[in-house]
Amino acid sequence: MKKNFLSFGILAVLLSVVSCSDKDDAASQRVHSAHSDEKTFTNFVSGSTETDRLQSRVPTDFAATGFYALPNTVLKIKVELVSGTQLPVLIIGTYSRYRDQNEGNAQEVKLNAGENIVENITYGGLLYIRMGGKSFSNKAKVNFISGHKKAPYYKLGETTETNWDEQLTTFADAPDVILESERTMMVMSRAHALEYRLEDQGEILKKADEIINWEDDISGLDGSLPVHERSVLKHLMTETDKEDPYMFATNYRTAYNFKDGCEFPFTKKLYSKDGWGPWHEIGHMHQQTWTWSGLGEVTVNIYSLMVQRKLGFPSRLKTEKNWEKNMDVYFAKTVRDFNTDSDLGPFGRLCMFQQLWLVYGDTYFHKLHKITREEKPAFADSDAKMRYWMLTTCKITGNDLTAFYKKWGLPAPAAVFDEIKSMNLPIPIVEPSTMRE
């Protein structure tokens, strides 16, 4: 479902199949034609450009190669700049894959035109290429000459389940594997890949793409304007050997604990009733800048609930009785503070946003995300974020939501309510605070 959007750059990783110069065995050549040593990379939009456009976290702005390097290896790489001036950056290692690897950061090496000798590889890992820049005419050929090794590499639409099984056997020395689709890159240990080898890898990748697309949908990324185009950048989902936290999201990736977190993103549990964890982490990548203090683990679940609905499962707020356990208990109090009340918890606070969805539907969230992207608001502090959300929500719903905000105990100063009053909007026909599932 990804489109090519010239306004923000196009990611095109064209893998040129050539005869291998080394004497790989027949199985290796048969199962992994995507492992050509020479690859052409066309410039694609940088993560910082996309985070500015989307007003959300930095997405994955690098492309997989299907190779890895061991620690202390010397890589020989030849670069030919086909057009433009932007030269590629080699990324060594997967962000957050290993806790001892530069605090979860990958090693980056700027490549030059001509032959490059890359030394001082401290940790090793899978290899990637980043070619983000302001000009989208840049193109470079990258030829991996020596020092690199092949990793199991599943490409949706190219690799069969039989091919994948053979790769796991053939490339037995690779510590990690990578699976890739239109919207997703998945990285896990070979040990976990072997554990999950009977899973339908293609179906899992397709579902991961659907989940990302659904979260894009609720974010109003409908292509109505260039600023509302879906990103051409992928989402990296990686195993991590960090024992804590269980799962997390940060710039460039979402990560899943090696002990008991990997089965949820990398098996059919991803699209079962138990898939909330990955939906939630991908949701973090969609959260926008208006998210004020204390809502990091709240508004993220706007996106999780969207996925839950699309997969046909009942709302978690209903099945876990958050309306009764959290919201009703909170509403019974004479003094309420939405931001600090300990009885609400993240799911009680989520009820407020879900009530707006119950009254105004998906359209409310579409408009909220769109106007944030268009206005790119600058915030002095968390209170300014809350004020922006309150005023913007009134604007896009066309209603004076003063009663709703006061019911929920939003601790905004009187000046904010004066601003709402000056908008001269009608009160809603259905008071959102009365809604529940």
Three-state SS for 239? strand
Each residue of 46-90: pLDDT tens digit? 889 999 999 999 999 999 999 999 999 999 999 999 988 889 999
Are residues 225 and 335 located together in one domain of the fold?
no
The encoded tokens of residue 91 equal 């990324």
Counting the structural domains of the chain, the total is 2
Domain end: 284, 305, 321, which one? 284
Nearest partner of 419 among 398, 396, 397, 388, judged by Cα: 388
Q: Is residue 294 part of a domain?
A: no
Q: Is residue 293 part of a domain?
A: no
Are residues 240 and 368 located together in one domain of the fold?
no
pTM exceeding 0.85: yes
Are residues 239 and 374 located together in one domain of the fold?
no
CATH code for the domain of 172: 3.40.390.80
Are residues 367 and 249 located together in one domain of the fold?
no
Q: Are 369 and 224 in contact (CB under 8 A)?
A: no
**pLDDT tens-place values along the chain, 437 residues long:** 333 333 333 333 333 322 333 434 444 444 455 677 788 887 778 889 999 999 999 999 999 999 999 999 999 999 999 988 889 999 999 999 997 776 778 999 999 999 999 999 989 999 999 987 665 678 899 999 999 999 999 999 999 999 999 999 999 999 999 999 999 999 999 999 999 999 999 999 999 999 999 999 999 999 999 999 999 999 999 999 988 888 999 999 999 999 889 999 999 999 999 999 999 999 999 999 999 999 999 999 999 999 999 999 999 999 999 999 999 999 999 999 999 999 999 999 999 999 999 999 999 999 999 999 999 999 999 999 999 999 999 999 999 999 999 999 999 999 999 999 999 999 999 999 999 99
Separation of alpha carbons 338 and 352, rounded Å = 10
Q: Is residue 125 part of a domain?
A: yes
Quote the strand ranges of 35-104, DSSP E.
Answer: 38-42, 63-69, 75-83, 89-92
Are residues 155 and 264 located together in one domain of the fold?
yes
Nearest partner of 144 among 196, 69, 205, 215, judged by Cα: 69
Are residues 250 and 320 located together in one domain of the fold?
no
CATH code for the domain of 368: 1.10.390.30
Are residues 71 and 189 located together in one domain of the fold?
yes
Residue whose structure tokens are 């950056």: 89
Q: Is residue 376 part of a domain?
A: yes
Are residues 257 and 321 located together in one domain of the fold?
no
Are residues 367 and 261 located together in one domain of the fold?
no
Separation of alpha carbons 377 and 296, rounded Å = 18
- Domain that includes residue 182, residue range: 6-284
Are residues 247 and 146 located together in one domain of the fold?
yes
Are residues 56 and 204 located together in one domain of the fold?
yes
Are residues 33 and 172 located together in one domain of the fold?
yes
